[in-house]
Amino acid sequence: MDNTTGSNSFESVCKLCMHFYPNSGYCSKIKLNVRKNPQSFFEKCDVKFFVNIKEPYSSRLRFKTLLILGKLIYFFGWIIVVASAIFIFISLVQTFRTNDISLSDIIIIISGIVIFINGILVVCVGQLISCFVSIEHNTYEISNFIKSMHVFKNKNIQ
């Protein structure tokens, strides 16, 4: 990047970077207010540490495998729910078509309902995994923000 275009040239890059705080002009990566000292931006960063905030959320996550696992569990949970709903429906249709409800028909319908409930619980587990990954990501981002603002005076606190 050419720094001869003036002190505002860093803003065209920095405003899209996740390390830049537009209200204060502070860059958390190079630990500097680049708005007050734009020349230091070109010396210390010059887009080496640029991370686009418009980049998809999932590409900035640290636990991508866990997120994929959560989505797979969620997907298979819905397959279980749909399959059990179809199973229950077919069992009820056959039972009422014959007008004869036997003990085996009741056991089959109850089994379908239990499988349906278990499928809903599997969907919930998949969503919980995705939720925990999102909470971790947000906590990580907030932690980095707080560290960049030098809230803690004690250097031992990381």
pLDDT digits over 44-64, tens only? 665 555 454 455 555 566 888
Does 138 score more than 60 pLDDT?
yes
Instruction: Give me the residue spans of the domains in the chain.
Output: 3-44, 57-148
Give the whole-angstrom CA distance, residue 102 versus residue 113.
17
What digits encode the pLDDT tens for the residues 71-122? 999 999 999 999 999 999 999 898 888 888 888 888 999 999 999 999 999 9
- Report pTM: 0.58
pLDDT at 102: 84
Predicted local confidence at residue 124, as pLDDT: 97
pLDDT at 131: 92
Per-residue confidence (pLDDT) for residue 105, from 0 to 100: 85
- Percent of the chain at pLDDT exceeding 70: 53
Q: How confident is the model at residue 1 (pLDDT cuts 50, 70, 90)?
A: very low
Which of 1-15, 85-99, 138-152 bottoms out in mean pLDDT, i.e. has the lowest?
A: 1-15
The mean pLDDT of 34-39, rounded to a whole number, is 66
